Amino acid sequence: MDRPRIIQLPKNGDRRGNLSVIEQLDRIPFKIERAFWIYDVPGGEYRGGHAYRESEEFIVALSGSFDVLVDDGTQKQVFSLNRSYYGLYVPKRMWRGMENFSTNSLALVLSSTPYDEADYIRDYEEFKQVKR
């Protein structure tokens, strides 16, 4: 089974600032079908709290910081994201949540599938059964 992991991105820096880039099928292990972003998260809020049957994701903290909690049904891990030049790859069938958003944080999420509510597993017990 694939595992969640941090993937580094190029950082092209000069006196004008930095530029990082992601290209289709380069560095991240899926074809990008969708991008969405999460912002203006009030202090103390928790997002996610579900798994996807098929979607894989790559999450980058474009601004500020937050934590991503991932759980494969057996092992839980926390990844703190706070730089624009790396991100977290989350395989399918992984319970995930996001918390500890800093003020003005901006999370970019690239996904391997179009949005489909039927892809969500929102019940933790159902998730555990799917993993068995």
| Interaction site with ligand TYD (CB under 6 A) | 34, 36, 38, 47-48, 115
Which residue number, 36 or 39, has a Cβ lying nearer to ligand TYD? Answer: 36
Q: How far is the CB of 18 from ligand TYD (least distance, A)?
A: 27
The partner residues of 14 in beta bridges, in order of sequence, read: 17
Alpha helices in the chain (DSSP H): 124-131
Q: How far is the CB of 12 from ligand TYD (least distance, A)?
A: 29
Closest Cα partner for 84 from 37, 33, 30, 32?
37
Which residue number, 5 or 34, has a Cβ lying nearer to ligand TYD? Answer: 34
Q: Report the sign of the C-alpha dihedral through residues 52, 115, 48, 86, in that order.
A: positive
- Report helix, strand or coil for 119: helix
Please tell me which residue in 47, 50, 92, 128 is annotated as part of the active site.
50
Which residue number, 10 or 124, has a Cβ lying nearer to ligand TYD? Answer: 124
Q: Is 50 a catalytic residue?
A: yes
Active site residues per annotation: 50
